[in-house]
Structures are given as C-alpha cells and as structure tokens.
Amino acid sequence: MFVIVGDKGRDHVVVLHHILSKASLRPRPSVLWCYKKELGFTTHRKKRMRMLQKKMRAGKAGLDDEKPFDLFVASTQIRYCYYSETHKILGNTYGMCVLQDFEAITPNLLARTIETIEGGGLVVILLSSLTSLRQLYTMAMDVHARYRTEAHSDVVGRFNERFLLSLASCEACCVLDDDLNILPISSHMNTLKAVTPSDKERASSNELALKELLQSLSDSPQLRSLLRLCKTLDQAKVVLKLLNIVGENNLKYTVSLTAARGRGKSAALGLATAGAIGSGFSNLFVTSPSPENLKTYFQFVCRGFDALSFKEHMDYEVVQSTNAEFNKAIVRINVTRSHRQTIQYIHPTDANKLGQAELVIIDEAAAIPLVHVKRLLGPYLVFMASTVNGYEGTGRSLSLKLLHQLRQETACITAIHTGAASSSKESVITATSGRVLNELVLEESIRYGAGDPVESWINQLLCLDIALAPKVSSGCPAPSDCDLYPFSALPKLHSLVIVQAIFP
C-alpha cells in the first residue's frame, strides 16, 4: 500500500502500475480508480487510442511523444467509480486501487474499496491537496458537515488521527512524497522480511492434500474436472460437499457458507452451480445486492461449463444487462445442451418470482436486509454465502438471528445418518419446515497470502474482526463500581484494545 503526499502523485501511479505488471506473472493488472466528482482527466480509452494511431500513421507523432499517463489510461483496463457508487464493486477483484479526493473518504469507503484488491496487488492513496502529513489532523472531511450544528460548529477528525497513526504500524504501507521519497513515518520499510519457511511448508502440505483429493476422485471425471478449478484444499472440500448435496436431489437443504473476504465463496458457488446444471437442475436463481457483485460467481459458472465440455453459443448463451447502471453485468445464462435450463438473476426483493425454483443461490447474504433473506427461503435447495469479517460481514443479523433461528427450530425431529463414520455429524431436520441446515466454513485464504499485512491493518483500523473482539464472560459490574469518562478523554483512542472494547 502506498500513500503519496503531494500534487504530482497521480503521475507516479503509472510507475507503480508498471512495476506491478513487471513483477506479476499474470496478465496486465486491472485498476479500480475511485473519486468524488471530477477525475481531472479524460477517460475515453478508444478515442485516445484512435487519436494516437491516427497521428502515428500520419507520421506526426510516436509513442515517445505521448505522455506516460495518457498511454497508461489508453492501454489499461480501468474501472472508474464514484465514491457514491462503490457498493456496485462488492464481490469484484482488481489488481490495483487508486483512491483520490481523500476528503470524501469514509471508513465504509475504505473497507469497500481496499477489500476488492487481490493479494500481491497495490493500493494507492493520493493526498494531492496536502503538502505535509500534519495537515491530515485538521483536514476538513466531507462527512463532517452532517455533524456540525449551531451549538457545535467545530468537528474534530478523530478518525484521521487513527488512520495516520495506523499507517506506521502497517508493515506493508509506504508513505511517500510526490518525488517518491520515503517519509519518516514509514522508516520500517528499510527492513523488509522474506517469506518464512514455515509458511511455504504449510502451503506445500495443503497443495499435496489437494492433489490427493483429486486423485481419489479418478472414477468421477466430471466431479474431478470441477475440483481442478479450486485453488485451495478448503475450497475443494466445500465444492465437493455442495455437489454431494446437489447429487442427492433433495430440495430440503439450506446450506450456509461463511468465510472472511477473499476465501473463494463466490467461486465455490459458481462451480457448484455448474455442477447442478450438469446434474439436470433446470430452474436456478441467484440474487445479490447488485448484479455487478456477481462477476466472480458467473465467471466461475462459465469456467465450470468449460470443465464440463460445454461450448458457448452451442450449449449455453450468456445474457448481459442492457441497463447502463449495471455496467453490462451478466444477468442470465440459458443452457440448451440436453434440455432448457436457466440461471437467472433476481433482485433480493423479488421472492415472488421463485415459484418454479429448484436451486436458489444467495450471494453476500449479510449485505441483504434480513427480512428479504427470510422471504427468499422456500421449498427448494438454498445455497447462502455470507462474509463474516470485512465490510459485507458487518451485518450481524444473518448470523445472530437467521441462522440462530434455523438452529432453534431443530427441536423435534432429528435424523442421524446410520452407517456413517464416527467423525460424521448428525443432520438435524427442522420440525416446522422439514429442512436440513448445513453450515460450511472457508478459512484458507485465496485472494491474500496467509497473514496478509494490509488485510490485518484494515481489519484492525475499522474493527472488522468481529469474531476476534473481546468477549465479556463475567457479566457487567455494578453501576457503583463504574467510572464515567467523556469520550474525548479516553487515553490513546487509537489503541485497538480500547476501540474494540467500545465497539465490539
């Protein structure tokens, strides 16, 4: 992560992206560029390229005559996004993120944008309006306007202070001036550590276990071909469990898949959906806060089709939205290989359209109001994925209310699978609806490396590790034993322990 202070920071984005491209063995990294209202430059890629090619054909200009930033904009896949529309990028993955107009940034925006960057990617924060980091303490943020009243006209930017102090503790953060000189707050960058052997050994052992799992499925070529697309052993086991549930053809299952960001939930759902189509399911529906959030899901549905030897335009057809607000997102896949099958996106409020559903996939269920999630549950197979940590996981109603309610409804009828191994768990069927709740968890990270420092930094800064928050086990003390302090008087407010104790 780079924080660049100064007016020339935008020009150095080109240099950082070039370094990232050279260091990566993958295709040219995509860029997410977020801003408040005005970018300060034109974004029409095709027009830029046409003008450049026209000049080169006429012999009036060459590549050396163009500014590096103009070439970067014309040749790079950049997703420009207003801060007010960042909810549309949830669930997507980019190689680099650029955040300008710092005065418009809020904690919510930080969480939404930074969590979309893959491991090994770059986050660049431009502080173009500042000449010194000290100005960040007194910087007037846009969000402060809502807190100003006639009685309280002065607003203290406490989050700015916490943000600045946290940069010093982030091992992967480098604060630079606009000449790319390292500022004293990032003096820790002088000592970089290599990956420890223990991390490499742990990764190799998981890869070996994944290969053994694939070899054990040699008698099921279609199942094996789908699991080959899994990146971790954890993800392969979840996809295998989902496909086994699909193979049972029992529409009474409700499967809850929970994990932190970047663990491969959407990819697992996409592969399971491809397997369901291969098993003969006809009417499949998928929902999410926005169809743009399902980019990864549909991408892995298509990869699953390729693994099953489906041919696009012959066996299936991808339908994109014509709504300009959805940025050509996929909203439907029609499959016609053996019989008519469909995968249809619906809005979370359109539960009345699920009359003929056989499988319903709810992606990012924690970002959907609980009342809509409950209405989406019905007499069909339900796969429900939710983020427990991170921005999307801040909606606790799913885990605290819905899943708790489904567990509580398992009072009367209990079915135990006979002949199963001693380590197998019993399946509990609800007395009211006769449905089986199956809970799955993904822990192994795919998007990030193990213990990614930027992921740890954003979780600590914004208190997103809800599972790690300190729990009070002894109850509350008597009021007479308590002391009342003004909020501003708390010592070291940036301390993680104090903040998590106040906002558990």
- Residues 226, 181 share a domain: no
Q: Which residues of the chain have pLDDT under 70?
A: 42-49, 52, 55-56, 59-66, 146-148, 152, 157, 192-204, 389-400, 409-434, 450, 465-474, 486-504
Q: Report how many domains make up the chain.
A: 3
Are residues 184 and 224 both part of a single domain? no
Model pLDDT, residue 413? 40
Q: What is the CA radius of gyration of the chain?
A: 25
Residue 264 Rama label (left phi>0; alpha psi -120 to 50; beta)? left
428: domain CATH number is: 3.40.50.300
pLDDT at 202: 56
Q: How does DSSP assign 168-192, residue by residue?
A: HH-TT-EEEETT-PBPGGGGGGGS-
Is 215 part of a structural domain of the chain?
A: no
Phi, psi of 496 (to 5 degrees): -60, -40
Q: List the structure tokens of 469.
A: 């928050």
Instruction: Considering only the C-alpha atoms of the chain, give the largest distance between any 2 of them, rounded to a whole number of Å.
Output: 85
User: Is-contact 115 261, C-beta < 8 A?
Assistant: yes
Given a contact cutoff of 8 angstroms between Cβ atoms, the answer to whether 347 and 292 are in contact is no
Quick one: pLDDT at residue 123? 94
**Residue 456 resides in a domain:** no
Q: What pLDDT is stored for residue 282 in this prediction?
A: 92
Same domain, 142 and 268: no
Q: Token match 């928050």: residue?
A: 469
Question: In this structure, are 29 and 118 located in the same domain?
Answer: yes
Please check whether residue 205 lies inside any domain of the structure. Answer: no
What per-residue confidence (pLDDT) applies to 204? Answer: 67
Residues 104 and 158 in one domain: yes
Residues 224 and 182 in one domain: no
> Within its chain, how far is the Cα of 153 from the centroid?
37
Alpha-helix residue ranges (DSSP H) falling in 308-369:
none
Structural domain includes residue 81: yes
Residues 112 and 183 placed together within one structural domain of the fold: yes
What pLDDT does 411 receive? 46
- pTM of the complete model: 0.75
Asked if 83 contacts 99 with a C-beta cutoff of 8 angstroms, the reply is no
Is residue 10 one of the residues assigned to a domain?
Answer: yes
DSSP string, 41-73: S---HHHHHHHHHHHHHTTS--GGGS-HHHHHH
Q: Is residue 54 part of a domain?
A: yes
Using left for φ > 0, alpha for ψ between -120 and 50, and beta otherwise, residue 415 falls in beta
Which domain CATH number covers 142?
Answer: 3.40.50
- The residues near 381 (Cβ < 8 Å, ≥ 6 apart) are 245, 246, 250, 251, 252, 253, 255, 358, 359, 360
Q: 124: which strand partners?
A: 2, 98
- Model confidence over 150-161: pLDDT tens digits? 776 777 767 888
Same domain, 75 and 177: yes
> Are 38 and 161 within one domain?
yes
Answer yes or no: are the C-beta atoms of 220 and 243 closer than 8 Å: no
Q: Judge whether 138 lies within some domain.
A: yes
**Secondary structure class of 425 (helix, strand, coil):** coil
Q: Do residues 122 and 252 both lie within one domain? A: no
Boundaries of domain holding 504: 466-472+483-504
227 and 183 within one domain: no
In a domain, 132, yes or no: yes
